[in-house]
Amino acid sequence: MAGRTSTRHTSVSRKRSTYPDRWNLTHLVKDPTAEIDALLADLESKVAKIEAVRPTLAPSLSSQALLTLLRLSEEITQGASQLGAYAYLRFSENTKSAEARSLKTRVEERLTGLNNRLLFFELWWQSLDDANAARLMADAGDLRYHLETIRRYKPHTLSEPEEKIINVKNVTGRSAVNTLYDVVTNGLTFTMTLGGKKKTVNREELMTYVRHSKASVRQAAYQELHRVYAPQRDLLGEIYKTLVNDWKSENMGLRDFSSPIATRNLGNDVPDQAVDVLLATCAKNADIFQTYFRLKAKICKIKPMSRYHLYAPHRTETRKYTYTDAVAMVLNAYRGFSPRLAELAEQVFRDRHIDSPTRPGKLGGAYCYSVVPGLTPYVMLNFTGEARDIATMAHELGHAVHGMMAKDHSVFTFHSTLPLAETASVFGERILSDALMSQERNKAVQQGLLLSQLDDIYATVLRQAYFVRFEKLAHQMIADGATADQLAKAYGEELRQQFGKAVKVPSEFHWEWLMIPHLFASPFYCYAYSFGNLLVLALYRMYKEQGASFVPKYLDLLATGGSQSPQQILATVGVNMTSETFWQSGFDTIKGMVEQLEETM
C-alpha cells in the first residue's frame, strides 16, 4: 500500500550503502529444474506419515502424540510455504511469462492435493469433545492459539469429501479467475503525452502522473487510466460478479455464515460488532476529510477541487529520489526509533530479498511476503523515484520487521492476524513522516509534510472503509442480480457521500472499483487498513507521550506475532476494539492535524 512523504532531501547520519534492487530467490529454491520435484516428493512422504496415524486418532490421544503430529505438520507447512512463495514471486516478476504462470498453477494444484490429504486431521480436531481438547491444548504451548483457531471454524466446516471438493474447485475456479484478472490488468499499457512527446507506460508509471504538479497532467493521467480500462468493463465486471457469487455460494450457501463479511471477520478473529463500529465511525467522520480537501484546494490553488486532483502535490514536492537515497532515509528514520528495527530492515537489503524497479508485466503495487519464521521476508516494490515510493518502502519494511520480530513462533502463529498485520507497516510510515517533520524548520515544507501525511491517512483510512461499505452493498446487489452498470451507480453514490460537496467526482470514477485488486482477490480485506491506521494513530500518540519507555512495549507487541487473539494482544496496550470511543480517538488525532494545517495558512 503506497503512502506519501516530503520530497525535500534530508540529512543522513550514516554512510549510504548501495544495495542490489533485484531479489534473489535462491533462498527459497536454488535450482528449480532439479529441486521442485524433489521438494514435492519430500512433502509427499511427510504427508504419508501423518496419514499413517489416522487410525490411531482418538479422544484419549496423548499430548506428546499430538505434539509429534503438529511438529510434522509444521515441517510440511514450512516446505509448502517456501515452494508456494517461490512460484508466486516468480509470477510477480512477470505476470506475462507463460512459464511463470504454468509453474504457479502446477505448484498450487500439487499443494492443494497434499492439503486435501491432511484435511482429516483438522476435521478430527474440530470434532473432539471440549474436555479432551482443553486437556491437549493445555500442553500445546505456542501452538495453542493455532489449535483454538481450527476449532473456531467448527460451525462452518463441512464433511471431508466436501472440503476436498471445495479446495480443488478453488484452484481451478476462484484462484484461476483471479489470476485471469491479474493477467488482464497487469498487461494493460497506457499512453501519456508530455512536452509534445508520446510515452507508453504501465499502470505503476501512469499513476505517478496523478501526483504531477500540473493539473492538466493529473487529469490526463486519470482519463487515460479510465480510457484503457473502459473496453474491459464487461470482462472485469463479469469476473467480479463470478468471484462474488462464488464467495456467497461457498460461505453463506454451504458454510452457513450469516453474511459475506462474517467470513472475513472470523478469519481475522474480530467480532462483527468491532467491524460494524469501525465502519460506522469512519462514515461519521467523513466531514473531517471534506474539510481537509477544502483546505488543500486553497493551499494548492485548485478550483474547483475535483477527484482528478485529490493527490495534487504541495509546491515543495518537486524532486525525484534515487533508490539509494530512499533506502538511506527509511533506514535512518527506523534507526531513530529503534536500532533493532533498523537492523532488521537493513537485513532485507543485505539478503537481497527486495525487488524494486518497475518493469513491463511486473505485478502492480507493493507487498511483503513473510514466508516462514527465520527466513528474511521478501519485499516487492515498484519504485519510480516519487516521494510516495519512499513511504511505500517504509510501509513494506514494517511488514518485514514484524515477521522477523515474531521469528521465534511456529509457522502457524508467527503471522499476525489481518487487523494487526498493518500495525508495523503503518507505524513505519509514521516513523518516517515524524522524522522528516522534526528535521524541518521551513514552514512551507512543514505544510507540505502535513498535506502528505493527511493524503496518506485519507487513502488508508476513509478510502479503505468506503471500499468495504461498497463491497457490502455489491455482494447483496449481485445476489439480487445486479448488472455492472448498477454496481457502478452504487459506487458513485458512495463516492458522493464520502466527498460531500467538497470534491467533484467525474462520472468515470464510478468504475473505479474495477481497478481495486483487493476487491477481487480478498473480499472485505480493506477494513484491515482502516483498523491498522487508526490503531497506529493511537499507538503513536502513546509513543509521543511516553517516549523511549514505549519502544520495548511496542517491540513486544510485534514479537507476539499471531500467537494470541487480536483482542488479547491489544488489551496489553489498553485498546478495546469494540469501543466507538477508541476509534473516535483516532479521528480526533486526524482532526487535530487538519487544524494544525489550517494554522499554517
Average pLDDT over residues 232-242: 97
Looking at residue 2, its pLDDT comes to 34
d(Cα 494, Cα 509) in Å, to the nearest integer? 11
- Residue 138 to residues 3, 143, 598, Cα–Cα distance (Å): 43, 10, 56
Average pLDDT over residues 210-222: 95
Looking at residue 204, its pLDDT comes to 86
- Residue 338 to residues 185, 294, 331, 333, 427, Cα–Cα distance (Å): 39, 37, 10, 9, 12
Number of DSSP helices (H) and strands (E) in the chain, helices first: 27, 5
Looking at residue 9, its pLDDT comes to 31
Looking at residue 446, its pLDDT comes to 80
d(Cα 449, Cα 8) in Å, to the nearest integer? 9
The candidate with the shortest Cα–Cα distance to 263, out of 557, 52, 527, 464, is 527
Reported as a single tens digit per residue, the pLDDT across 488-525 is: 999 999 999 999 999 999 999 999 999 999 999 999 99
- Indicate whether 1 pLDDT > 80: no
Looking at residue 12, its pLDDT comes to 37
The candidate with the shortest Cα–Cα distance to 532, out of 563, 566, 581, 562, is 566
d(Cα 155, Cα 161) in Å, to the nearest integer? 17
Looking at residue 140, its pLDDT comes to 94
d(Cα 434, Cα 336) in Å, to the nearest integer? 10
Reported as a single tens digit per residue, the pLDDT across 73-105 is: 999 999 999 999 999 999 999 999 999 999 999
Average pLDDT over residues 35-45: 95
Looking at residue 3, its pLDDT comes to 34
* Band of pLDDT at residue 5, cut at 50, 70 and 90: very low
Relative orientation angle of helices 272-284 and 580-599, to the nearest 10 degrees: 30
How is residue 514 annotated by DSSP? G
Looking at residue 388, its pLDDT comes to 81
- The pTM score is 0.81
Looking at residue 449, its pLDDT comes to 82
> Widest CA span of the chain, in angstroms?
78
Looking at residue 452, its pLDDT comes to 87
- Indicate whether 123 pLDDT > 50: yes
Percent share of the chain, pLDDT over 70: 97
The candidate with the shortest Cα–Cα distance to 585, out of 543, 549, 548, 533, is 533
Looking at residue 444, its pLDDT comes to 81
DSSP letters of 424-473? HHHHHHHHHHHHHHHH---HHHHHHHHHHHHHHHIIIIIHHHHHHHHHHH
Looking at residue 418, its pLDDT comes to 80
More confident residue, 437 or 295: 295
Give the cell for residue 260: 459475506
Q: Are strands 378-383 and 354-357 parallel, antiparallel or unpaired?
A: parallel
Bond prior to 231 in cis (omega within 30° of 0): no
d(Cα 410, Cα 142) in Å, to the nearest integer? 7
Average pLDDT over residues 44-52: 97
Percent of residues in the chain assigned helix, strand, coil, to nearest 5: 70, 5, 25
Main-chain phi, psi angles of 368, to 5 degrees = -120, 135
Q: Which amino acid is at 496?
A: R
Reported as a single tens digit per residue, the pLDDT across 573-588 is: 888 899 999 899 899 9
Average pLDDT over residues 282-306: 96
d(Cα 453, Cα 390) in Å, to the nearest integer? 13
Neighbours of 51 (CB within 10 A): 13
Q: For the chain, give the mean pLDDT.
A: 92
* Band of pLDDT at residue 422, cut at 50, 70 and 90: confident
Looking at residue 332, its pLDDT comes to 96
- Indicate whether 4 pLDDT > 50: no
Looking at residue 318, its pLDDT comes to 63
**Exposure of 590 by Cβ count < 10 A (0-12 exposed, 13-18 middle, 19+ buried)?**
buried
- Indicate whether 530 pLDDT > 80: yes
Domains of the chain listed by start with CATH number: 25-174 (1.20.140.70), 326-449+537-599 (3.40.390)
* Band of pLDDT at residue 8, cut at 50, 70 and 90: very low
Distance separating the N- and C-terminal Cα atoms of the chain? 30
Give the cell for residue 445: 515544507
- Indicate whether 391 pLDDT > 50: yes
Using DSSP, state whether 377 is helix, strand or coil: coil
Reported as a single tens digit per residue, the pLDDT across 146-180 is: 999 999 999 999 999 999 999 999 988 999 999 99
The candidate with the shortest Cα–Cα distance to 454, out of 592, 277, 283, 284, is 592
* Band of pLDDT at residue 441, cut at 50, 70 and 90: confident
How is residue 252 annotated by DSSP? I
Looking at residue 78, its pLDDT comes to 97
Highest mean pLDDT out of 214-218, 313-317, 383-387? 214-218
Q: Are strands 367-369 and 354-357 parallel, antiparallel or unpaired?
A: unpaired
Reported as a single tens digit per residue, the pLDDT across 251-291 is: 999 999 999 999 999 999 999 999 999 999 999 999 999 99
d(Cα 572, Cα 557) in Å, to the nearest integer? 8
Looking at residue 317, its pLDDT comes to 65
Give the cell for residue 526: 480493506
Cβ partners under 8 Å of residue 415, min gap 6: 370, 403, 406, 421, 561, 562
Neighbours of 247 (CB within 10 A): 21
- Indicate whether 442 pLDDT > 80: no
- Indicate whether 378 pLDDT > 80: yes
* Band of pLDDT at residue 16, cut at 50, 70 and 90: low
* Band of pLDDT at residue 539, cut at 50, 70 and 90: confident
- Indicate whether 17 pLDDT > 70: no
